[in-house]
Structure 1
Amino acid sequence: MRHPDLELDLLRAFVAVAETGSFTAAADVVHRSQSAVSQKVLRLEEILGRRVFDRTSRMLGLTPDGERLLVAARQMLEFNDRFLRGWREPPASGTLRLGVSEDFIPGQLPKLLARFGRLYPDVHIALMTGLSCNLLEAYDADRVDAVIVKRSGANGRGRVIWREPLVWLASADYQLDFTKPARLVMLAAPCSYREQMIAALDSVRRDWVAACTASSLMGVQAAVAGGLGVTLLGRSFVQEGIQILRAPELWPALPMTEVSVLGEDRAPDLVEPLITFLSQSLAGHDGLTIAA
C-alpha cells in the first residue's frame, strides 16, 4: 500500500504554528494568509488522520500526535533546507570568530548554535561572550570577525536582527514594599540597562537604592532570583523563579531593546549564512520557544 506524501509546505506551516503559538503569527513567518495557514494544517491532519492541535477559544496546543510530528517535521525541513543550500551554493567553511552579547536570548542561544552547526558542519565558530561594550572593543580591535550586540544610543551600528520588550524582573516570591525605596540589582556603570532603570524610576519620582552591583548579566539574574532586588532586562531573561512585575503606576512602562550584528563586510562568506539563519529562525518568535 502506497502512503500519501507529506508536502513540505504543509509541514512548514505546521511548524510555524507550533513554534509561534498562533495561526496569525505563523502566517507572517511563512508569508501566507491566516486562512491559508489554517487550511494547510487541516490538510495535514487529513493526510495523517490525526489531530495535531488542540484548539479552544483561549489556547492552542499540540496534541501528543502533534508533539511527535513536530520532531519529525523539523528534521525533514532541516534536511530539505540543508540539501538545497548545498546544491545551490558552495558550502561555507572556515573559522568564524564570533562575539555574542549576554543580552542575546540567553536561554535559546545554545539551541540556535547547535542547529547552525548541523546546517554548516564545515564552519568552526570561535565563540566569545560578554557584555556588549567589551565585544565592540574586541570587534574594533579586529579580535573578532563579527559581533551580535545590544544596540543603544551610543551604539547605533549594525543591522538589527532581534527586538524584545524590556521588563521589570524580581524573584517569584519577592515581597514588594512601596513605602521604601526600590531595591535595585544592576551592572556597574557604564551600562545602558542601569541608565534606563534609573531614568524610568526618576520619571515617576520613585526612590531607589542599589541593593547589588554585579559584574555580569548572569550575576544579575542570580541576584534577582535570590531575592536581593529588582532589575530591568529583556523579556528573554525570564526564567524559573523570576517574575515580571506589572504595576504601571509604580514600575513605569519601558521601551523595546534591540540586538544588532556587525561584521558583514569582514567575512561575508561566513557571516552572511549566520545572519540569514538567525533571521529565519527568529522570525515570528515572541515567546522564544526555539527548539534544537
Structure 2
Amino acid sequence: MSLHLDEDLLRTFLAVADSGNFTHAALRVGRTQSAVSMQIKRLEEAVDAVLFERGARGVSLTSKGGQLLGNARRIVGLLDETAALFDATSLEGKVSIGIHQEYAEERLANALHSFDRRHPGVEITVRCGTSEENLTRVQSGDLDLAVIFDWQGHSDGEVLMVDPTVWVTSEKHLTHERRPVPIALFRDSAWSRDFAIPSLESCGVDYRVAFLSAVKGGLRLAVTSGLAISPISRSDIPPGCRELTADEGFAVVDHSNVVLVINPSSRSAAVAGMAEAIREAFAQIPTQAAIVASGKAE
C-alpha cells in the first residue's frame, strides 16, 4: 500500500493525542474544532484505522493510534530539526523566560518547543511561577522576559490577549446549584480576596470556601470532581465544565490582560526572537469563544 502521511495531519494528530480533547487541540493548532475533527478523519482514512476512541470526557488513543504516536513524534521532530539545520536565521545566545502555569501547557509549550527546534544554539532557561514573582524577576534583571497576568493595569508591557476570569462549574455535578455554593480559591491570594470573593458578594451569592490550592491544578480538580466551583480563565475551562453566566447569577471575576514584559537591558537577537515566538503563539490561536462560534457556523 502506498501511504502518504501529510505533515499537517500528523501535527494535528499529536495535538489531539497530547490534549485528549478536540477543543483543546484546536487551540493548539489554531483551527476550529470541526476542522480538527475533519483532519483526524482524513488521517484515519489514509491509514485505514481508527486512531481515537470518543467518550463523554474526551478522546483516547486506540491501539493503532498508540502505534502511530511514537512514529508521528519522530517524523515531526525530524522535519523541525531539518528546517532548523538549513535556517540561515538560526540564533545563538541565552534567554531566560518566566511563564505563568495558566499558559505553560498549551500556548507556551508549543512556542518554546518550536523556538528550541528552530534555534538549537540558544540556551533557554524557564521559570514557572506567579505573575508577581516573574514580574519582579524581570524588573530585577533575573529574567529577560515573562508572560504574566495583569488584572490591575500596573505592568508596563505588551498586551497579548484579554482572557477574562469566570466562575466555572461541572456540567455533570451541577455544583453551582448548591447553597451555600462551595468555592475553590488560591490559597493566601490577594487576588481571591480582592476580586473573586467580591464578585460573588456583589451578586448576592451565598458561598463557603470549600477548597484551597496553591496551584491551578487544584482548582481544576475541585471543579471537575464536583467539589466546588472556581474562578478559572475562560481560555482554560476544563473538559466537562462550563462558564457560569449572568443569567445564572454569576458575574465575570475580572478582565485580565495577558502581558509580555521584557527587561529593557535584554536586547539580544535571541531575546527578540523568543518574544516574537510568544507573540505568534498568542496571535495564531483563536479564543475559545471564537472557536465555538466558528464551529457552529460550519
* TM-score normalised according to structure 2 size: 0.62
Q: Cα–Cα, structure 1 residues 34 and 253, in superposed 2: closer, same or farther, change >3 Å?
A: same
Q: Matched residues in 2 for 1:33 and 1:100: separation?
A: 26
For residue 158 of structure 1, report the CA deviation from its aligned partner.
2.0
Aligned-partner SS, 2:125: strand
Contact 2:167 2:231 survives alignment (8 Å): yes
Structure 1 residues 136 and 179, CA, compared in 2 at 3 Å: closer, same or farther? same
Which of 52-61 and 271-280 deviates more? Answer: 52-61
Partners of 2:118 and 2:167 lie apart in 1 by: 34
How far apart in 2 are the matches of 1:181 and 1:23? 28
Identity %: 19
Residue of structure 2 in register with 1:167 after alignment: 167
RMSD over aligned Cα atoms: 5.4
For 1:206, what is the secondary structure of its paired residue?
coil
Give the direction of change, closer, same or farther, for the CA distance of 1:269–1:70 in structure 2 (3 Å limit).
same
Range 158-167 or range 226-235, more displaced: 226-235
CA distance, structure 2, for counterparts of residue 231 and residue 33 of structure 1: 25
1:96 shift after superposition: 1.4
Q: Which moved more, 1:216-225 or 1:250-259?
A: 216-225
Match of 1:283 among 267, 278, 285: 285
- Greater Rg by CA: 1
Instruction: Give the C-alpha shift of residue 92 in structure 1.
Output: 2.8
- What 5-or-longer segments of structure 2 have no aligned partner? 289-298
Amino acid at match of 1:269: A
Q: Does the 8 Å contact 1:185/1:223 carry over to 2?
A: no
CA distance in 2, matches of 1:244, 1:24: 14
Give the aligned partner of residue 294 of structure 2: none
| Separation (CA, whole Å) in 2 of partners of 1:7 and 1:21 | 21
In structure 2, C-alpha distance between the alignment counterparts of 1:232 and 1:123, rounded to whole Å: 37
- Aligned twin of 1:272: 273
Q: Is the 8 A contact 1:184 1:212 kept in 2?
A: yes
Which protein is richer in helix relative to its size?
A: 2
1:254 to 247, 252, 255: 252
The equivalent residue for 1:64 is: 63
Is the CA contact 2:52–2:61 (under 8 Å) kept in the aligned structure 1? yes
Correspondence for 1:290: none
Aligned to 1:158: 158
Give 2:49's aligned amino acid: R
1:149 CA displacement? 0.8
Give the match for residue 144 of structure 2.
Answer: 145
Q: Deviations over 1:99-155 (max 9, x none)?
A: 223443469977976776566443323333332123212212222101111132324
Aligned length: 278
TM-score (norm 1): 0.63
- How far is the alpha carbon of 1:97 from its aligned partner? 1.8
> Does the CA-based 8 Å contact 1:187-1:220 persist in structure 2?
no
Does the 8 A contact of 2:144 with 2:271 survive in 1?
no
What secondary structure sits across from 1:104 in the alignment?
Answer: helix
2:196 corresponds in structure 1 to: 197
Provide the C-alpha distance between the structure 2 equivalents of 1:223 and 1:44, rounded to a whole number of angstroms: 33
Alpha-carbon distance between aligned partners in 1 of 2:12 and 2:226, rounded to the nearest angstrom: 42
The aligned amino acid for 2:74 is Q
Deviation digits for residues 190-237 of structure 1, max 9, x if unmatched?
Answer: 42x4422123112212355667877x4379759969999764233748
Which consecutive residues of structure 1, in runs of 5 or more, have no partner in the other structure?
287-292
